[in-house]
Every structure is written in structure tokens, then in C-alpha cells.
Structure 1
């Protein structure tokens, strides 16, 4: 008797995704989605630092040319990770965050500021391990320290996600009879308010298996919690691989 096994995993990818070219300018609308120049409120300039195109920086600007952020990245296989400077500016041009990563791990001194110039955080890390850390109020008083990086989650944990898929997904009959199996990768965006958008199949098995994976994803209860940076929600892409397996 054939039966099926579902395996679910999540992987984060940093927004936005960039084409693999030496230099690229990309424009974004008010929702931070790619758009044409005439509709843009911000734009980014991607500069590769070597011929392998694996090491690059992304600087983002307001359409008027004010620098908003300056991030460094490195690709490892199919993964893109923070690797180098991580700098963010307030709308008034003052520094908001200044730190550095090595392979997505915080390294060295990390400082953040309120828009009024008051220090908000002063941490020190060794490969993501906190050595010392202090957080402050906007008036300069000590306050309870809280993590700088908090990854996205679902409900009370990913087990809720696994259980929902396991109870509700159905192996398409034709594919089951033919023994067709594989992994469907669903690419989607977790918005700052925890809603989900832009879901699409990034890696396909076949039409009916893809459709079933998307069907269940779209009726998933809206219990996503977004990534936080320094206590502020971030818009982020994620990948949900759904594995369809048959066993004889």
C-alpha cells in the first residue's frame, strides 16, 4: 500500500533578490516591490567586488539620492548571506545601525541610534555570541537588553506548520498512481505586519503537485511573525520546500 511522507523546511532569503551582473540599478515602489523608474520611491545600486560575482555590496537610496542603507553580501552556493558592513540610516540622514556580519553572524561592535542621535544599543559579538550588550531609552537611560536579530517564526513554532500541512494536504491521485514525487519550493514574502504575499512556485514537480502545495499554503492560518532587527519588523522573503514522497 503506497503512502506519502511530507517534509517541510524553511529557509530565509534576504530581500530584495538581485540579478547576477557586475553593476545593477533596481527601482522600488512604496511597498518595496520592484517597479519602473517613473514609479519608484527608492532605488538600489549593486556593485560586485570580484569577477566571481559572489561578493557584492548593495546601497539603497531614496529617489532623491539620500543613502538609506549599505549592506555587504557573499553567496555560498545558492545561499546569500550578510558578509561585511551592515549600515542603516534614519530618514533624517543620521546613522541608525552600524555593525558587521561574517556569514550571517554578527561580528565585532554593533551600535544603533535613535533618530535624535541618542545611542539605542551598544553590543559586542564574536561570531554571533554576545560578549557584552547594553540597550538604552531615547532619553539615554539604561533599559532591558533585547536581541538585535530575531528570525521569523510561525505561531508557537514550526511544529504548528508541520501539523497543518500533514492534516490537510492530499497527494494528487494521478501523480500518486504514477509514483511521481519531488520537492515543491514555495517562495513567498513575510510582510512587516506578519501577512504573506507574492507566493509562487520557485521549484516545480508537476502542475498538480505544485497546485496542491500552493493550495494548502494559501489556506494556512495567518500566524506568521516577521523578522526583527533591533526590535523593528523587517520585510523578508522565505522559501518553504514541501516534499512529496511515495513508498511502495
Structure 2
């Protein structure tokens, strides 16, 4: 474990020392050409110790989009400290506190006109309390700032859909399970696209899993501060006989 952590830190140090611009598209996926990019990020050391990395994300016009901090936990970089985000116009959007990868502390958000949008409190990644205001500064009913994408009817309905839709070939041995792990995009309208097999099985199973996923009903899209957003989703499928 110590060797893994050290290797990660050395990797971070190599990146940071070069101050390399890492280009990303609108989904924050790394791309090789600035022509494909919407953002770029730079990672640098901080005065909080070698294990804390500061990540700055910029729009291509040079305006700051995000300031985030990463720490190494169990060999992986995780969110740490206060993260800050800005609107395209330069006004503060929101700030959120993390500890050991969990939301822990405050989340404060503002409308573009400077009025406070919400003020939430988290402890060990659990929501504790909060208030929400409209753009005029009037208090409104609280709602979560982040809601994950979901299959209509919830997880139980999703599992029932998979059980009734996934065929099992005759040649599969009785008492066995074949698993396929897929990752895909659910856009702002709930439509599925960009399906990828990340942990596959024999070709037939992979093809069937992709087909079943592509034929699913539209999902409920993820919501960020109440607005539908595109998101990536991981889904395991099991062929059970």
C-alpha cells in the first residue's frame, strides 16, 4: 500500500512540475486536442502538504471554472477541503466542503445576481439540514442539490425489467451466472447513448446486454441544482441460469 501511495504521489509530482494543461470536453473527459476541448485543468502542489493536490479547471477563454483539492486515500485520489465553482460570467456559483472523499461541512450556492441560492450542511456524506431561496431571495421548499439518474419506477423496476428481458442461452450451464458491466450516458432528456462494455463476457452476452440497454425506456435524468444534466452511469447485468 505504501508503495502504491508513493507511486501516485510521484506521478502527481511529475504532472505538477510540468504544469501541463490537460484538455477536457464538455463532459470533462480528457481529449488530446484543444480543438475538441471545452475546458483544461492544471494540477499543482499546495502549501497543505505533499499529499494534497490543487486542481484548477479553466474554460478555454482562461476564466476559472473550478478550484478543487485531492488527497490520496487507500491509494486513490479523493476530494478534500473546500471546492469552489464559478459561472461562465465569472460570478461565484457554489462552494462545498469534503473530508476524506465525503461531503462534510457546508454547501453554499449563489444565483448569478449574487443572492444566496442554498445553504446545506453535510456530515460524513449525509445531508443534515439546509435552506433554499429563489432568485428574488425568497425562501422556497428544500430539494436536493444533486439527484442521480434513475430508471422509471426505481431500482426494483429496473431489476424486474432486466429479469424479464435478458435471455439466457440454452448452452449456458445450469446454476451459473454470467456478468457484464456497462457504462453509458443518460442525457438531459433521459435517453441512453455512448454505451460501453467495461467488464465483458463472451461476445454474445456483450451484444445482448448492449441491445437490451439500448432498448430501455427513457430514464429520469440526473438533476444538478434542480436542472436536468447529462451523466455517466454504471450498470451490471447478470445472465442467471
The two structures share one fold, judged by TM-score above 0.5: yes
Structure 1 partner of 2:232: 237
Structure 2 partner of 1:42: 39
Between 1:75-84 and 1:210-219, the stretch displaced more is 75-84
Structure 2 partner of 1:199: 195
- State how far apart, in whole Å, the 2-side matches of 1:75 and 1:183 are: 31
Q: CA distance change for structure 1 residues 133 and 179 in 2, over 3 Å: closer, same or farther?
A: closer
CA RMSD of aligned residues (A): 3.1
Structure 1 partner of 2:7: none
The alignment covers a number of residue pairs equal to 222
Match of 1:96 among 93, 113, 120: 93
Are 2:226 and 1:218 aligned? no
Between 1:35-44 and 1:212-221, the stretch displaced more is 35-44
1:103 Cα shift?
Answer: 4.8
Structure 1 partner of 2:178: 182
Matches within 5 A, 1:129-148: 129-148=126-145
Structure 1: unaligned runs, 5 residues or longer = 1-19
Counting helix residues as a fraction of each chain, which structure ranks higher? Answer: 2
- State how far apart, in whole Å, the 2-side matches of 1:242 and 1:182 are: 8
1:237 Cα shift?
Answer: 1.7
Between 1:126-135 and 1:64-73, the stretch displaced more is 126-135
Counting strand residues as a fraction of each chain, which structure ranks higher? Answer: 1
1:98 Cα shift?
Answer: 0.6
- State how far apart, in whole Å, the 2-side matches of 1:76 and 1:161 are: 33
